[in-house]
Structure 1
């Protein structure tokens, strides 16, 4: 089966995932519950066997107890036993049904939970590029809507199929035993019905896929528009009405698809139900012809008990047949949803841990960082693991293609980094400067393997980061970003996220070192204060210092600071800068800053422009060189008030 890769071409969903591929995978979901499924099958067979006895008891009531065919009077003793049996069977089947329903519900919901957990775990392994190219709402829709859409298949459908199949088989055999002639009449149109049902099922699959994609779009709109950022943006630009209009249009499309899906096959089922409804009347007519010998197949021996038993069986046959047809359509609909789920599960993360990967020893880690001949290009969102314009992956499919040659790659434009080589020695504070879009953040993202280099290598203590275990690399590298992310929870939980087992004293110490403890204690609820979604209840400086506290609690050997003091007022910047000064002690630190006053004391400064390393040196050396750094420095300080010119305390002796 073709598997999603970083280079794709379009395929239809059926070419990518046929039923022959999906059904075995669905069966594997149920494999851990084989024992419970076996009990369900035993219960189904037992229930069907008991129910198949009822028509024969009915025939015995008429032909042996009430109106004996030998001409004797009614036999009340036999009638009592037969009635007792007819009453006992429904009681027994009801009790079996309760246990069967409990087992099927347990198995189905457990399998669905496994599927949802596997999908969430797999998404956690996906590279950063996947999430930058895919709408969050689309991902949430796969986890919530698609998995919920297959609930019925996993909880009820399999049992319904088995139960009705056994019931239909038992009823069919019993009907043949009673009268094969009447059985032929009952089932004469079944081949036509099955053919029509398959055509309806294929249409339902296509509609189900379109419906789920529309639902994904609605979920994405909701996630974007109703988030704190989305609401704020709409209010600032007075776009609330257009957001409502966008949602209403998506909602109308979803409604049309739901109605179309609900109505697909209704005419077919109306015809089938009509045929089944008039069949008993036809049975009576044919029975009359058989009794009078008008049909060549009739021998005049059909009894009233046999006719009553046959029509009873006919009713028992028709309902399971209708249910099987409906369930078959549900299964085909659910297969479309399973394909969407498996499409995500089959995405192969671009960032993986290689066999035999080496774990960094935290006690021996020095923190030397080197970029050696690095070239990097961001992947095109259209050629990632799927086509993620909204949630369009399922519609297109993917196929592995040959990777471009080195010559082809070199001829392509758009390098974010081009032949960059630099070294940051253990314990150094290294700064990366350059105009916007020069590749500063890109260079730092390669160190913790948020992305892998296209060419060259990134090394930590001489180890290529691609040869390291992901967990040890994550432990070694910490980052404070320009826009720190805080989840909706308490301040304590947000800090402790870096090290869940940290003691209260360690959390407080990290907050003190980040210059945020006193501010936290000024809140009525202290460390139990709720931050709000994305920390919107806190100021920018407070969020930044909480992020610093979090990374201090983690205590990484290598620290990356990405624009950590931008857009802050002077006093807040001073507090953050003091916190950063503590954070950088005895650590290898790579700092990105547009505000050059914060990095003048760096041990080494690297200048990037258009993805290339154009200069390196100390503040004094680069100012004397008169290149990129001096130009940026002069431009910035010609615009900033004198009050902004201050030095970091690490090397306060550095002159302007």
Structure 2
């Protein structure tokens, strides 16, 4: 059975994760080599210490030659001091080097994980809970840090055990082999328990991810919770998930803590055998008392390193459990990537177009969201997209910045498929303002100049004035340096929207996408934002989604989507005269 456990690690998933971890340590192999030399010295010091027990007993306490005893009495304490000083120095060097290396590796993994998250496409974020993602980059990577000291001890402690075993074999090889066999048997439960620790660590991290999701959801939606008087319900929901986390962690603790008692139980057998059989040999005169006590000291000092090895093995397995989840993210490939020979997008000259576009969201088995849509937007035009809820409006505009790619058909700029362009150059030419305005917990200046390496105050102020935001910005004591809080919580809805428009103005992109940018505002705020939007739309190719049809009457063209199909196309007056879907939607709103 012990063989099966060992093979399961070295040939299974654990070994694969271990090898992947080692890749990140490879650049620091010189430092690691120095640390291993230090570990070699530290490990050998234990054997040297126990070896001194025999001359201490035989050359000092049992030596009839008092003069010789005095010489040994002067030398052996000095040797003990020297051993422990060297051991302390090299233990510090080993731990310091490996901790520094470990922190660098963890820093690189965390950076790599965050960078990979940034590269993943929008569909990943749609399908993955935010709390789970946060848990992996914080909790999981933090637990992976345990692998560093664990690896250190998993190298150093077996070395010390080997040196101590060498002294014991030198002193009394027959008895040493018996004790070593007993200790080897104890490795089986340690390996079994380590596998359980890894399993429940991974499960605990999954529970922690769910808990983080609840926290983020609750803190973000605290006004809704209070408005509906749902504090008790949310507290119960948190308690329920927290209880599941507790139960999982208790199982991990059981298997983590049971290793040491199991080793102690088996170790007591070795101790009993040594005391009984060894005592008989001393009484019979087969070995000296000095040799016996040196042997006992070697065996006794082997116990603590073995117990620490057991603990470190469990920690290492826990780190591997966390690394499973981290590597799972790193192995996730983005569905939207640049082609190998992608080029920079040139300035748009003629038109944007959707050509026979079909689309169904990944994993969905329902009907297509868009079915054979053809749409052309000429440079400088303002085209409005209207339709009922679920008609595919937002899906359609998500193709232009390549948040998604069509399943069939293509999106083109001047006749060239946008997949031929690098995503960075494509997105630099597009500005978006949506109904769900996202602002960063930063100054007003940095929010307006987001995406630029340096915030040019003159350009920031000019953009704010065009967005009719300058006046309210100056009303704050710190003006453009005012911190607006998380998601712009210190601003009203209209103020947040005008900052988003100022951000789009600052970017000065030739293509503008407006996704129901005024739908959540009151009438007064809508008028202010609408004036700002008119400044923003001037001279740009604009695609507008609007819930309030009164806001798009002046669009050059209005296209109507219904059940994923483009059913009407024309001006406001033409579509009203047609008496079709647009007229129905318009009359419905007018009646309301």
Aligned to 2:580: 627
Distance 1:522 1:292, change over 3 A: closer
* Larger fraction in helix: 2
Q: Does the aligned pair in 1 maintain the 2:43–2:161 contact within 8 Å?
A: no
> Highest relative contact order (Cα 8 Å, sep 6+), 1 or 2?
1
| CA displacement at 1:343 relative to structure 2 | 0.7
Q: CA deviation at 1:414?
A: 1.6
| Greater CA drift, 333-342 or 187-196 | 187-196
CA contact (8 A) 1:376 1:415 kept: yes
Residue 138 and residue 198 in structure 1: after superposition, are their counterparts in 2 closer, same or farther (change >3 A)?
same
Matched, 1:573 2:531: no
Closer, same or farther in 2 for the Cα pair 1:265/1:148, shift >3 Å?
A: closer
Task: Quote the offset at 1:310 in angstroms.
Answer: 1.2
Cα 1:435–1:302 change in 2 (3 A) is same
Partner of 2:590: 637
Aligned to 1:99: 93
**Counterpart in 2 of 1:653?**
none
Match of 1:84 in 2: 78
Name which of 346, 357, 366 aligns with 1:374. Answer: 357
Deviations 1:491-535 (A, max 9, x none): 112112132323111111110111110111112221122222212
Q: CA deviation at 1:606?
A: 1.0
- Residue of structure 1 in register with 2:515 after alignment: 562
Q: Secondary structure at the match of 1:120?
A: helix
Structure 1 equivalent of residue 197 of structure 2:
204
* Worse overlay, 263-272 or 368-377: 263-272
Aligned length: 584
**What pairs up with 1:140-155 in 2 under 5 angstroms?**
140-154=134-148
Within the alignment, does 1:446 sit opposite 2:399 as a pair?
yes
Alignment of 1:543-622 (within 5 A): 543-622=496-575
Contact 1:366 1:557 in 2 (8 A): no
SS in 1 for 2:124: helix
The secondary structure found in structure 1 opposite 2:186 is: helix
Residue 164 of structure 2 corresponds to 171
| 2:444 pairs with one of 491, 503, 526 | 491
Q: Is the 8 A contact 2:183 2:266 kept in 1?
A: no
Question: Compared with structure 1, are the counterparts of its residues 73 and 523 closer, same or farther at alpha carbon in structure 2 (3 Å cutoff)?
Answer: closer
Q: Tell me if 1:240 matches 2:235.
A: no
Kindly indicate whether residue 176 of structure 2 is the aligned counterpart of residue 183 of structure 1: yes
Work out whether 1:304 is the aligned partner of 2:298. no
CA distance in 2, matches of 1:267, 1:50: 29
Distance (Å, rounded) in 2 between the aligned partners of 1:149 and 1:271: 25
- Residue 115 of structure 2 is matched in structure 1 by 121
Shift, 1:217, TM fit:
1.5
Deviations 1:465-501 (A, max 9, x none): 2221011011011100011111222211211213232
Secondary structure, aligned partner of 2:76: helix
Higher deviation after alignment, 469-478 or 302-311: 302-311
TM-score by length of structure 2 reads 0.94
1:20 to 15, 19, 22: 15
- CA–CA distance in structure 2, aligned partners of residues 380 and 267 of structure 1: 44
The alpha carbon displacement at 1:101 in A equals 1.9
Q: Which residue of 1 aligns with 2:5?
A: none
Q: Is residue 244 of structure 2 the alignment partner of residue 253 of structure 1?
A: yes
Q: What is the rounded CA distance, in whole Å, between the counterparts of 1:629 and 1:239 in structure 2?
A: 40
Quote how far apart the aligned CAs of 1:279 are: 4.0
Deviation at 1:566, TM superposition (A): 1.6
Change (3 A) 1:525 1:502: closer
Structure 1's 17 and 212: CA in aligned 2 closer, same or farther, altered over 3 A? Answer: farther
Q: CA deviation at 1:281?
A: 5.0
Contact 2:46–2:163 (CA under 8 A) maintained in structure 1? no
Q: Secondary structure at the match of 1:139?
A: helix
Tell me the distance in 2 between the aligned counterparts of 1:415 and 1:81: 88
Out of 54, 58, 64, the position equivalent to 2:53 is 58
Please name the residue that 1:111 is paired with: 105
Residues 1:340 and 2:334 aligned together: no
Partner SS state of residue 374, structure 2: strand
Go from structure 1 to structure 2 and tell me whether the alpha carbon gap of 1:127 and 1:559 turns closer, same or farther (over 3 Å shift).
same
Aligned to 1:386: none
Query: How far off is 1:562 after superposition?
Result: 0.6
How far has the Cα of 1:631 moved from its partner?
A: 2.2
Name 1:528's counterpart in structure 2: 481
**Contact 1:17/1:339 (CA < 8 Å) preserved in 2?**
no
Task: Indicate the SS of the match to 2:569.
Answer: strand
Structure 1 residue 136 displacement after superposition: 0.8
Contact 1:367/1:425 (8 A) holds in 2: yes
Superposition RMSD on alpha carbons, in Å?
2.1
Instruction: For 1:251-330, list aligned pairs within 5 A.
Output: 251-264=242-255, 266-277=257-268, 279-291=270-282, 300-330=285-315
C-alpha displacement of 1:131:
1.2
Deviation at 1:199, TM superposition (A): 2.0
Alpha-carbon contact 1:58-1:308 (below 8 Å) kept: yes
1:434 is aligned to 387
Any conservation in 2 of the 1:137–1:220 contact (CA below 8 Å)?
A: yes
Partner Cα distance (2:325, 2:215) in 1:
21
* Superposed CA offset, 1:378-433 (max 9, x none): 1237xxxxxxxxxxxxxxxxxxxxxxxxxxxxxx6421111000110111111111
Cα 1:595–1:307 shift into 2, 3 Å: same
Q: Is the 8 A contact 1:66 1:79 kept in 2?
A: no
Gapped runs of 5+ residues in structure 2?
1-7
1:32 aligned onto 2:15: no
Q: In structure 2, what is the Cα distance between the partners aligned to 1:207 and 1:616?
A: 58
1:225 maps to 218
Q: Is the 8 A contact 2:186 2:266 kept in 1?
A: no
Counterpart in the other structure of 2:456: 503
Aligned partners of 1:367, 1:180: CA distance in 2, in Å?
90
CA contact (8 A) 2:432 2:514 kept: yes
